[in-house]
Amino acid sequence: MQRFILSKKNPIALIGAILIIIAFTSKLAFKNIDVFTWSLIIASILGIAPIAIQAYQALKVKVVSIDVLVTIAVGGAFLIKNYEEAAIVTFLFLFGAYLEQRTLNQTRSAIKELTEIAPESALKQMENGEFEEVEVDEVDVGDILLVKTGAKVPVDGTVLTGEGHINEASITGESVPVSKKKDSKVFAGTILENGTIQIVADRVGEDTTFGKIIELVEEAQDSKSKTERFIDRFSKYYTPAVLVFAFIVWLISRDIEMAIIILVLGCPGALVIGVPVSNVAGIGNGARNGVLLKGSEVIHDFSKVDAVVFDKTGTLTIGNPKVADIEFYTNNTHEVLAYLASVESESDHPLAKAVVEYIGDTEFYTVESTDVVKGGGIVAQVDGHRVAIGNVALMKQENVDLDEKALVDIARFEQKGNSLVLTSVDGKLQVLMGIRDQIRPGVKEDLQKLKALGVKRLIVLSGDNQGTVDLVARELGLTEAHGNMLPQDKAAYIEKLQAKGQIVAFVGDGVNDSPSLALANIGIAMGSGTDVAIETSDIVLMNSDFSRLPHALGLTKATANNMRQNIVIAVGVVVVLLASVFLSEWMNMSIGMLAHEASILVVILNGMRLLGYKLR
């Protein structure tokens, strides 16, 4: 019976409203006091039933809830035969609960949207080579799947054949489609806007990036911050205190009506709901914008961050060395680059790969012989020519003349932090290339935004040499730069900052920097949502999108401010209402309950503003 009555709270509220309208219509229009009285009595009894059940369930677990206060207040109103206020209070309480639940459901729309766009089926290649539609749960790692234009990618995978553009907004928050071709990574839940691709399944089900996003946001929404835990404890003692206070007022004044009004006005509903709704809305906004905030505690800590520490490679920089500067000392550039590509294409060295990638499609010559010079480079015979590729020391060993212009160029390239690749043909310098790990586009602007948001220290820690790290720091305007640091050195540096009382965030790729990610107050992972990044960090920037970092900080600050606003609103309303009991003539149960429910809606609507937050 209890479950049935609780399931009918909304219809009971509707019936209560109709009975109240009938009551006042019969009194004002027809002067029928009997219909007026009995309509209000029935409305009161119906309305108090679910509230009293909830109060009883709370008392069974030794919690004096808001429902207990309202039940006692309505019972007291019945004792003094104030049926009018009893009926109105129960209706407003139930109607307020209905509005509260409806509004809260909207704040959880981010999760609802995620689960609704989760892929349900896939075109799987069967043993006969044909593709058949199957449930996504039937896909295993290693299966080959076909994705057509307009379809959702069913799993995390790698493109085998075909090309197309994929909308990855559900993963990264970025609406601009991303080009995909052979060997490109794709994510479950993203949409192929054009083209047709075949993929091999790398991660399926809950192990996909999309599955982990849903799991993380659900966990985050269920977690509680220090503020929420404090308010829970506060409410546990506050509600009985209101009961005691109302009893003392009655003992002193012998005014039962005043005591009942205090019970209604003292309900801390807005205080209890205000902080969670801010957290849920903030986490929901992050999920929509490619930022995973793993819990309410993260919001609290990150909003107060003093120092943000960055790994360099793969975080501030792209992570792959590329040709950044080039000088030619010959007019026959096409042939020289062809010689260079022919030799370097046979090497697995990162610099060699950068050279080949830069040159691109070209004519390849047969490399007749090669001689690797340790610590210098490589000397080869190509098309009857002696081709030397390497550093300045190799050029000197090959007796290559480096004129004044070449020496000036070399010094200039080194000042920019380049690794040098010089190429000579038959003893004459032909090409000078500067190769470096280039800074991510837009990072400098994003770091300025962090400073504008109040971050005092921006620090880079890297295993690279100090000179290279200093160059990056100067270019980006960082506060400090420390090179030659092993993972344990980075962790020790973070501990030193924390020992000074600073709240430290560490931004890394989530793999080699996992000790620092775990140690920092807030670990922020780049790394396209990899398993290590998601498990180790507190915040994940999906698809390694650095531009999401200022949004994440701005969002947590806005969420923390929103929580404080809701606490002030909730406490302020209760103080004003209780003061008005003693200082005014107009305050009664109905007005108090109306103000109480209005304050709940105000804090919910204030919290919902975070769903539309954008960094200005």
For residues 214 and 75, give the distance between their C-alpha atoms in angstroms, rounded to a whole number. 45
Do 445 and 359 belong together in one domain? no
Is 596 among the domain residues?
no
**What whole-number distance in Å separates Cα of residue 602 and Cα of residue 267?**
15
- Of 514, 537, 556, the residue at which a domain comes to its end is 556
- Burial 267-289, CB ≥16 within 10 A → b, else e: bbbbbbbbbbbbbbbbbbbbbbb
Q: What is the CATH number of the domain that holds 306?
A: 3.40.50.1000
pLDDT at res. 175:
53
Question: φ and ψ at 496, to 5 degrees?
Answer: -65, -40
Most confident of 86-100, 123-137, 215-229, 250-264: 123-137
Same domain, yes or no: 189 and 171: yes
What tokens does 371 get?
A: 């001689």
Instruction: Return the structure tokens found at 611.
Output: 């769903």
CA angle 423, 391, 476 (to 5 degrees): 105
Average pLDDT estimate for 126-135: 92
Contact 153, 119 (CB under 8 A): yes
Tell me the C-alpha distance between 603 and 130, whole Å.
56
Amino acid of residue 139: V
The average confidence (pLDDT) of the chain is 85
| CATH number of the domain that residue 146 is part of | 2.70.150.10
Q: Show Cβ contacts of residue 207 under 8 Å, excluding neighbours closer than 6 positions.
A: 156, 531
> Over the stretch 442-480, which tens digit does the pLDDT of each residue have?
999 999 999 999 999 999 998 777 878 888 899 899 999
In a domain, 44, yes or no: no
Average pLDDT over residues 531-550: 77
pLDDT at 340 over 90: yes
Q: β-strands 539-541, 291-293: how paired?
A: antiparallel
> Rounded distance, CA 334 to CA 325, Å?
17
Q: In this predicted structure, what is the pLDDT of residue 531?
A: 58
Report the distance separating Cα 149 and Cα 155, nearest Å: 16
Q: Classify the phi-psi angles of 323: left when phi > 0, otherwise alpha if psi is within -120 to 50, otherwise beta.
A: beta
pLDDT at residue 510 is higher than 60: no
Nearest in space to 502 (alpha carbons), one of 461, 448, 458 = 458
Has residue 574 been placed in a domain?
no
Q: Which of 424, 410, 414, 415 is nearest to 373 (CA)?
A: 424
Q: Are residues 313 and 445 in the same domain?
A: yes
Give the separation between CA 452 and CA 553, rounded to whole angstroms. 11
Amino acid, res. 129: G
Confirm if 444 and 458 have CB atoms less than 8 A apart: no
- Residues 383, 450, single domain; the answer is no
Secondary structure (DSSP) of 138-188: G--TT-EEEE-TTPBP-SEEEEEEEEEEEE-HHHHS--S-EEE-TT-EE-T
Euclidean distance between CA atoms 555 and 613, whole angstroms: 7
* Tens of pLDDT, residues 278-310: 888 888 888 888 888 877 788 889 999 999 999
- Higher pLDDT: 230 or 98? It is 98
pLDDT in tens, 3-61: 899 889 999 999 999 999 999 999 889 889 999 999 999 999 999 999 999 989 988 88
Smallest Cα–Cα separation from 554: which of 446, 444, 478? 446
Enumerate the active-site residues: 311
**Residues 313-322, mean pLDDT to the nearest whole number:** 81
In a domain, 253, yes or no: no
pLDDT for the residue 148: 92
462: three-class secondary structure by DSSP? coil
pLDDT of 109 higher than 80: no
Looking at the structure, do residues 323 and 399 belong to the same domain, yes or no?
Answer: yes
Domains of the chain: total? 3
Strand arrangement of the beta sheet that strand 457-461 belongs to: 291-293, 539-541, 522-525, 504-508, 307-311, 457-461, 480-482
What type of residue sits at position 583? L
Q: Which of 542, 446, 455, 444 is nearest to 505 (CA)?
A: 455
Percent of the chain scoring above 70 in pLDDT = 90
Same domain for 420 and 323 = yes
Look-up of token digits 């399944």: 201
d(CA 597, CA 616): 33
Average pLDDT over residues 214-243: 67
Looking at the chain, the whole-number percentage of residues with pLDDT higher than 90 is: 39
Q: Which residue in this structure is represented by tokens 């009975």?
A: 19
Tokens standing for residue 68: 């207990």
| CA 294 – CA 299 distance, rounded (Å) | 8
Q: Is the pLDDT of residue 186 over 80?
A: yes
From 438, 471, 498, the end of a domain falls on 438
- Strand, helix or coil at 238? helix
Q: Are residues 394 and 401 in contact, defined by beta-carbon separation less than 8 angstroms?
A: no
Say whether both 449 and 305 belong to one domain: yes
495 has pLDDT over 60: yes
- Pair 269, 99: CB distance under 8 Å: no
Strand partners, 422: 390, 432
Q: Same structural domain for residues 407 and 449? A: no
Distance CA 13, CA 101 (A): 14
Residue 40 domain-assigned (yes or no): no
- What token pair was written down for 612? 């539309």
Radius of gyration for the alpha carbons in the chain, expressed in angstroms and rounded: 34
Evaluate whether residue 616 is within a structural domain: no
Among 250-254, 311-315, 575-579, the minimum mean pLDDT is found in: 311-315
* Position 172 pLDDT exceeds 60: no
CATH number at residue 353: 3.40.1110.10
Asked if residue 255 has pLDDT above 60, the reply is yes
User: Residue 167 and residue 175: Cα distance in Å, rounded?
Assistant: 6
Q: Are 361 and 411 found together in one domain?
A: yes
Q: In the prediction, which pLDDT does 314 show?
A: 77
191 domain residue, yes or no: yes
As a 3-state breakdown, the chain gives helix, strand, coil percent values, each rounded to 5, of: 55, 20, 25
pLDDT, tens only, 379-429: 999 989 999 999 999 999 999 999 999 999 999 988 887 889 999 999 999
Which of 165-169, 211-215, 493-497 holds the top average pLDDT? 493-497
pTM: 0.70
Domain annotation covers residue 359: yes
Q: Is 433 a residue whose pLDDT tops 80?
A: yes
Residue 423 CA to residue 124 CA, distance in Å, equals: 50
Are 500 and 390 within one domain?
Answer: no
Token reading at 488: 């344990």
Mean pLDDT of 359-366: 89
Residues 104, 272 contacting (CB under 8 angstroms):
no
* pLDDT score, position 48: 93
CA atoms of 23 and 446, how far apart (whole Å):
63
- Give pLDDT, residue 169: 65
Whether pLDDT at 106 is above 70: no
Q: Is the same domain home to 306 and 364? A: no
**Which of 556, 574, 599 marks a domain boundary?**
556
Same domain, 513 and 371: no
Strand pairing class (144-147; 191-203): antiparallel
**Domain span including residue 396:** 319-438
pLDDT for 529: 45
